Structures are given as structure tokens and as C-alpha cells.
């Protein structure tokens, strides 16, 4: 399925090439960030949305940086009805923030949500926390991921070595806590925006790779997502495309982007590539839209309803149907 809708570009994209390497910048150049915790009103209430560090004793490869503070900056403007976007950087302790639905509406489905930010920062409000709120209000557990950033200035991390390990650990952690969180471990999927979409796509194709630094029983749990939603970001044919094979048992895939987004220009080809590989895939394209619209106050109503398309797709594919307990 391919759906086109018309509206304006919301976020500009800058491409920086150095030889064969290409980086995406959601905002360039990056303004300075402030070390330390962000204002309390910018983060979810911890008593309602607890944060779980993926490696309680420190992430492999980040031991020497575990005590370094995260940084933040705030973006947006009242004129854009979007003056409260929190952007995080310097992530050395990967974590997930829990958005669990009330038990009376819980479907049992769960999604690990990976915000974008060019692998230099995380746009965690509009591509994370708001997404978590939206999903949990509809019975879908959401786990908003903070992952390590390989393209941040001075970073020693790699996308395939550290960022991918973070999202795989998140999937495994959710499955390992499924009973506690009222989640069906067979219906844990991934969703990513921009760079996070690239990461989610890698998680959907490299789930059989062995854990390089196994530390506990969680690392024995399967990292295969039940489904993947790639929102204006993919590891296939994008400006930061990664060499990866699409296995025949890759999870069902939901693709969504703006037609005027250069980052997503090859989404129709990605759709065909996945379909030819035998993957169940659906594509939605919003005509006239650029990059990074996510969930923002300034998003026009026709485009702002995009999460409903995802919900419809999840329902149609059986991911929102709770299997009765066998007693």
C-alpha cells in the first residue's frame, strides 16, 4: 500500500560528505549542549515512567565513560507551536524509559522506540516521549531508547558495534521482563525515526548475530523483533546505508516518510527490495512533507494522524490481538 498526502516541510536536512562517508544532520551546525540533567518538566515523571539502564553494571565498551554526564539542549519556538523539544547527547549509559499502558487496555504488544538525531544526538521529545505517550494510551507498551552516539564529536562508538548492541539489548530486556510488564514476548517490535530508523532496520536484519560481550542471561534471549516500523530512516539505500542482507524471515515492516525528504527519497525502492525478499511490507508517503515531522504541535492534522496508520497496520497484522490465557 502506498498513501500520499500533501503538506509542507518541517525540518531541514543537511548532508556532510567526507569521502564515502555521509552524515545526516537534523539541525546543523549543532548548538552547544548543557551537561547535567535537563529541567524536570522536560522529562517524564519517574514514578510513572521509570528508567531502566540496559546494563546495570555499565555497557560493554563504555566502562571508562560511565560517570560522564549526559548533555541536553532545548529546541523549538512558540511560533512553531513546538517550543519544548528536548535533545539529548553524550549517552554512555544506554537505557529505556517505560511507557506501560493501564492493564485494562493493554494489548500485550510492545515497541522499542529509537529517536533520531543523526547519531550525534537524540530528539527524544517528539521522536520518543510523545510517541511513548501516544502508544501507551492505546494499549501498546512503549520503551523509549537512549542509545550511544557514534557520530557525536569525539565519540569512540560505532553504529554496528555499540548503537546496534543497545537496541538489541533493549529488545532482549523487554522480552526478559515480559511477564512483569504484561507484555507478550512474541509481540515485541521496534520503531525508529531517521537515524533511529536505520538502527531499527539493522535490528530487524541482524538478530541472529552472536552477542560479542555477553554478561548475563538476558543476552541469551532472542533479539529478533516481531515487527519493525521505519519512519523516515532506513539502513537500506539511504544516505547512510549499511551493507546488510535482508533475511527471508525478516519481520513485517511498516515504512512511512515525506515525499520531499531527501533522506527517504529511495523509500519506494526499499519497499520493492523488501517485497522481493519475501518480507511483508507496507509503505505510506506524505506528499509535500520533509524530514522529522514526528509528533509535533505544528504538524498539520492530515499528517499528524500518521500514528493511526501504524496502529491500523499493527491491528491488521494481528499484533494488537491479545491471545487468551491458557488455563
**pLDDT at residue 299, as a whole number:** 75
pLDDT at 287 exceeding the cut of 60? yes
**pLDDT at residue 151, as a whole number:** 94
Q: 232: buried, middle or exposed (CB in 10 Å: 19+, 13-18, 0-12)?
A: buried
Task: With CA atoms as reference, report the closest residue to 274 among 179, 168, 201.
Answer: 201
Element (H, E) at 145: strand 141-146
Q: Is the dihedral angle over the CA atoms 116, 103, 174, 91 positive or is it negative?
A: positive
pLDDT in tens, 104-138: 999 999 999 999 999 999 999 999 999 999 999 99
Question: Does 264 or 224 have the greater pLDDT score?
Answer: 224
pLDDT at 1 exceeding the cut of 50? no
**pLDDT at residue 23, as a whole number:** 37
Task: With CA atoms as reference, report the closest residue to 71 among 48, 51, 91.
Answer: 91
User: Once rounded to an integer, what is the mean pLDDT over residues 248-253?
Assistant: 95
Structural domains in the chain, CATH included, are 14-36+48-316 (3.40.50.1820)
pTM of the full predicted structure? 0.90
Task: With CA atoms as reference, report the closest residue to 283 among 244, 319, 318, 236.
Answer: 236
Angle, in degrees to the nearest 10, between helices 164-176 and 195-203: 60
For 140, the 3-state DSSP assignment is coil
Pairing of strands 34-35, 51-53: unpaired
pLDDT confidence bin for 82, thresholds 50/70/90? low
**pLDDT at residue 49, as a whole number:** 98
pLDDT confidence bin for 90, thresholds 50/70/90? very high
pLDDT in tens, 137-160: 999 999 999 999 999 999 999 999
pLDDT at 218 exceeding the cut of 60? yes
Q: Would you give the distance in Å from CA 72 to the centre of its chain?
A: 18
Looking at every residue in the chain, the average pLDDT score rounds to 87
User: Once rounded to an integer, what is the mean pLDDT over residues 212-231?
Assistant: 95
Amino acid at each position: 500500500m502506498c498513501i500520499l498526502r500533501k503538506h509542507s516541510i518541517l525540518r531541514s536536512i543537511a548532508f556532510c560528505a567526507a569521502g564515502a562517508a555521509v552524515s545526516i544532520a537534523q539541525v546543523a551546525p549543532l548548538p552547544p549542549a548543557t551537561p547535567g540533567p535537563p529541567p524536570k518538566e522536560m522529562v517524564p515523571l519517574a514514578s510513572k515512567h521509570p528508567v531502566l539502564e540496559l546494563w546495570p553494571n555499565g555497557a560493554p565498551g563504555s566502562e571508562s565513560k560511565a560517570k560522564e554526564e549526559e548533555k541536553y539542549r532545548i529546541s523549538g519556538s512558540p511560533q512553531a507551536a513546538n517550543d519544548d523539544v528536548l535533545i539529548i547527547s553524550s549517552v554512555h549509559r544506554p537505557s529505556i524509559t517505560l511507557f506501560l499502558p493501564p492493564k485494562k487496555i493493554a494489548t500485550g504488544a510492545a515497541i522499542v522506540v529509537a529517536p533520531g538525531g543523526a547519531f550525534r544526538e537524540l530528539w527524544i521529545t517528539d521522536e520518543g516521549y510523545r510517541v511513548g505517550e501516544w502508544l501507551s494510551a492505546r494499549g501498546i507498551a512503549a520503551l523509549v531508547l537512549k542509545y550511544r552516539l557514534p557520530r557525536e564529536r569525539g565519540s569512540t562508538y560505532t553504529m554496528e558495534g555499540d548503537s546496534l548492541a543497545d537496541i538489541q539489548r533493549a529488545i532482549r530486556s523487554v522480552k526478559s521482563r515480559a511477564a512483569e510488564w504484561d507484555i507478550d514476548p512474541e509481540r515485541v517490535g521496534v520503531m525508529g525515526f531517521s537515524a533511529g530508523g536505520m538502527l531499527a532496520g539493522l535490528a530487524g536484519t541482524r538478530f541472529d548475530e552472536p552477542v560479542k560481550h555477553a554478561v548475563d542471561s538476558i543476552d541469551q534471549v532472542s533479539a529478533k523483533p516481531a515487527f519493525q516500523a521505519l519512519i523516515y530512516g532506513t539502513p537500506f539505500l539511504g544516505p547512510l546505508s549499511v551493507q546488510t542482507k535482508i533475511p527471508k524471515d525478516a519481520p513485517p515492516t511498516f515504512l512511512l516518510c515525506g515525499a520531499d525528504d531527501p533522506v527517504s527519497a529511495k523509500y519506494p525502492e526499499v519497499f520493492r527490495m523488501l517485497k522481493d525478499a519475501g518480507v511483508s511490507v507496507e509503505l505510506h508517503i506524505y506528499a509535500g512533507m520533509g524530514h522529522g515531522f514526528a509528533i509535533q504541535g505544528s504538524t498539520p492534522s492530515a499528517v499528524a494522524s500518521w500514528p493511526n496508520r501504524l496502529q491500523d497496520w499493527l491491528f491488521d497484522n494481528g499484533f494488537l490481538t491479545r491471545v487468551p490465557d491458557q488455563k
